[in-house]
Amino acid sequence: MSVRLAILTVVRDDRAGLIATHQSLREQTSQAFDWIVVDGASTDGTAEWLAEHAHETAWCRSAPDGGLYDAMNIALEAALAVTTASHVLFLNAGDRLAGPFVLDHLARLAGREPDADLIYGHAHERLPDGRVVMKRARSHRWAALGMFTHHQAMLYRRGAVADLRFDTRFAVAADYAFTLGVLSRGGRAVLSPCSLCEFAPNGRSQRQANLGRREQCTIRSDLLGYGILGNATLFGLQCLTLTMRRHVPRLYEKFRFHPSDTSCLL
């Protein structure tokens, strides 16, 4: 199987974040990828920086859009239209890959697992005290609990998402609905043993956690058939986890985080 990756980045008024993501891509040992960038009409110099580096992208644009998930849909449609990429990875401005070998590792793994609709892995997370820890992915079989890893640590096969789009009704959890859309159709998922991304802190999912959990209830009802009792139980478990992280962080870290690994050594 011929494997080529498309990296999809959306940005708005985050020039520094876009530069950090660009640097992470330039550090990769494999440069066999197509970079798609969608800028939502930034006014902080992002559009000018992107114009200067347009030769490094397979496709880019700076124009108004309907928000985060509309921009991600635009990026996906561009990847499908202008590249021959076999797989897509969403890496938004400010996010970084977990090490220089990540894209090489993903391409090799995708080649060994040609029928995998989703390849996912662990993530690095930078804590407020500066420590970088590894947040292990849960099994995709527990997807009803919520996102089982960060969206930036998920590689989708082109054929599995060609007819899927992010549901812009959701402000926070559309990536969860998108991923469930792949799995609910019987998509095969494979767990990488590596950390794949370094998650940018204080993203929308962290700032609007309560909204995200409410949206997940709707998504579970729509895609998994969960009723009021099942959703209430999972909602309560999620609230308990958030409370532990906020008020007993050391206990949360003990069970959820691990020392940072060396990430995708080949």
8, 33 Cβ separation under 8 angstroms: no
If you average pLDDT over residues 43-49, what whole number do you get? 97
- Token duo for residue 234: 């999972």
pLDDT at 173 over 80: yes
If you average pLDDT over residues 100-108, what whole number do you get? 96
pLDDT given for residue 45 in this prediction: 97
C-alpha–C-alpha distance, residues 107 and 32, integer Å:
9
Dihedral in degrees, nearest 10, Cα atoms 84, 89, 93, 94: -140
- The H helix count followed by the E strand count for the chain is 10, 10
pLDDT given for residue 114 in this prediction: 96
Each residue's pLDDT tens digit, 215-248: 998 998 988 887 777 666 767 666 666 666 666 6
- DSSP reduced 3-state for 266: coil
Stronger pLDDT, 241 or 64, i.e. the higher one = 64
C-alpha–C-alpha distance, residues 197 and 119, integer Å:
13
Stronger pLDDT, 133 or 66, i.e. the higher one = 66
If you average pLDDT over residues 104-111, what whole number do you get? 97
C-alpha–C-alpha distance, residues 101 and 121, integer Å:
14
If you average pLDDT over residues 1-28, what whole number do you get? 96
pTM recorded for the entire structure:
0.89
- DSSP reduced 3-state for 176: helix
Selection from 3, 22, 216 nearest residue 119 by Cα: 3
pLDDT given for residue 210 in this prediction: 78
Least confident piece of the model among 83-97, 113-127, 206-220: 206-220
pLDDT at 262 over 60: no
C-alpha–C-alpha distance, residues 104 and 4, integer Å:
10
Confidence of residue 266 (pLDDT cuts 50, 70, 90): very low
If you average pLDDT over residues 171-194, what whole number do you get? 95
C-alpha–C-alpha distance, residues 178 and 180, integer Å:
6
Least confident piece of the model among 15-24, 73-82, 150-159, 206-215: 206-215
Q: Please classify residue 184 by burial: count the beta carbons closer than 10 Å to its beta carbon, then call 0-12 exposed, 13-18 middle and 19+ buried.
A: middle
pLDDT given for residue 212 in this prediction: 80
pLDDT at 79 over 50: yes
- DSSP reduced 3-state for 104: helix
Confidence of residue 166 (pLDDT cuts 50, 70, 90): very high
Question: How many Cβ atoms are within 10 Å of 208's Cβ, its own excluded?
Answer: 15
pLDDT given for residue 229 in this prediction: 75
3, 30 Cβ separation under 8 angstroms: no
pLDDT at 110 over 70: yes
Mean of per-residue pLDDT scores for the chain:
88
- Token duo for residue 198: 């370094």
- Token duo for residue 140: 């995709």
The identity of residue 191, as a single letter, is L
